[in-house]
Chains A and B, each alone.
Chain A
Amino acid sequence: MDLTGVFRIILLVLLVICAVAVNLTRSLLQSVVIFMAYSSIMCILWILMESPDLAITEAAVGAGVSSMLFLMTLKKIRAEDAGEEPDDAGQRDCPPVPEVSGREKDI
């Protein structure tokens, strides 16, 4: 087996490890980072399989844009530190719900 074959097998093993680790990590932020690693490995594999078109798209979409959308969603739902100790992170930035006083209710 030549060097490329060994390299390819190593990458495939890493790919499987990444795919399993995405599911097993408790922190969502770490999951996103591992998913980015998965996309990068997949990008190299596309090049090894002689389809550079897909490699460029995978690098830009998989490792770039989609991960960033994931990160921004995590920021929106404030779950970056979900794997750590629970604190009042959920209520931190929520705007206070205005109390409806009796007078306004009447109006």
Chain B
Amino acid sequence: MKQNLEKRLWKWLEGEWEPLDYLSEPAEVRDSSRESLKEQKKHLRESIDRMEHTQAVVRAEQKGFYAFYTLTAVICCLVLIGVLLYSVANVSEYGVENPLTMEVVGRYVSRGLYETGAVNVVSGMILDYRAFDTLGESHVLFTALVCVLILLHRDRKNMLPGVEDYYTVSRENYYELSGDPILRTVGMVLLPCIFLYGIYVLLNGQNSPGGGFSGGTVMGSALIILSACVGFARTDRFFTRRMITLVIFVSLAFYSLAKGYVFFMGANGLENHIPKGVPGTILSGGLILPLNIAVGMVVACTMYGFYSLFKRGSIGEDGTSLD
């Protein structure tokens, strides 16, 4: 056996044979016609035994590897769980005032309404005190849309050559209609309510829970339901790619111009010349309402753009008529 191993090692070093490549071990060439039946049987049994042995070795090794992988995965998970539980245990208890974290919150709660004019303190926080964060979030959404557009957009240059015909594919996608009457009926009944709810949440961001992100998402969902119910042909009438680009650009530019000065003024802000209005009405909160609308537009367009790109690989017609 030892000699055999040595021989194998040399064979392996010379590249004739690999340890794991058991089945391709060169069979000894035998002149079978000269051997008796008994010898043939014996050789056959030997080779079968050898094969079974090697297979058992391979199986045991695989088992060992699998056990090792499972063990490592379990250990990693346990360590991660431990770290998470440890950090959670150090978080201050829910609802209990913590002097370390309550200092800023106290300022927001006590003077937020006076300084921002928004009844909803959260809205005043994210769109007045920390509006620059929200600007970054809007740009993150825009960047995500651009990335999806780069990856999934299908035009003449971005299709499998010879397999897909641009005009056929785009025409099929353009006129695709949902044939399900239940979906269409329920959608048409629900759509005005969803749109109205989205607009309500968007416009009342400074008075009640909601605001740009929530309202924009609800409106984006409504747009998605609309295009799923009545087909893209109807939504493309007003939602071309040019339109979406324009809306997002105007919203982001307005937001950047309105709030970007905070960054350059050393985060001090300027005097707010917009009247704050009566707290509780829609026209209150100064700059918060326009900023909410801008964020909502960006979010709604992004959601619809995601859906449209995932579904058919383009946002509306890009200016060229298909006919």
Contacts and interface: CB of A to CB of B under 8 A. Distances in A.
Contacts of B160: 95
B307 A68 contact: yes
A61 B213 CA distance: 10
A12 interface: no
B167 to A, nearest CB: 15
A27 to B, nearest CB: 21
A48 B94 CA distance: 12
A53 interface: yes
Given A57-B214, A60-B214, A72-B310, A65 B220 contact: yes
A53 B162 contact: no
A86 interface: no
Interface in B261-282: none
A69 B307 contact: yes
A65 B306 contact: yes
A98 B162 contact: yes
Contact of A60 (B218, B306, B310): B218
A95 B209 contact: no
B207 interface: no
Contact of B310 (A55, A57, A64, A76): A76
Contacts of B211: 53
A57 B164 contact: no
A53 B214 contact: yes
Contacts of B122: 51, 53
B297 to A, nearest CB: 16
Contacts of A69: 306-307, 310
B164 to A, nearest CB: 6
A64 B221 contact: yes
A51 to B, nearest CB: 8
Interface in B206-225: 209-211, 213-214, 217-218, 220-221, 224
Contact-size category for A: 20 to 34
Interface residues of B, number: 22
A24 interface: no
Nearest to B218: A60
Interface in B120-155: 122
A97 to B, nearest CB: 7
B163 interface: yes
Contacts of A65: 217, 220-221, 224, 303, 306-307
Contacts of A25: none
Contacts of A96: 163
A51 B224 CA distance: 26
Contact of B94 (A49, A57, A64): A49
Interface string B207-245: 001110110011011001000000000000000000000
B304 to A, nearest CB: 10
A60 B217 contact: yes
B248 to A, nearest CB: 17
Interface string B151-179: 00000000010111000000000000000
13 contacts: A51-B122, A56-B209, A57-B214, A60-B218, A65-B306, A65-B307, A68-B307, A69-B310, A72-B307, A72-B311, A95-B163, A97-B163, A98-B162
Given A53-B211, A95-B164, 13 more contacts: A49-B94, A53-B209, A56-B214, A56-B218, A61-B217, A65-B220, A65-B221, A65-B306, A65-B307, A72-B311, A73-B310, A95-B160, A98-B163
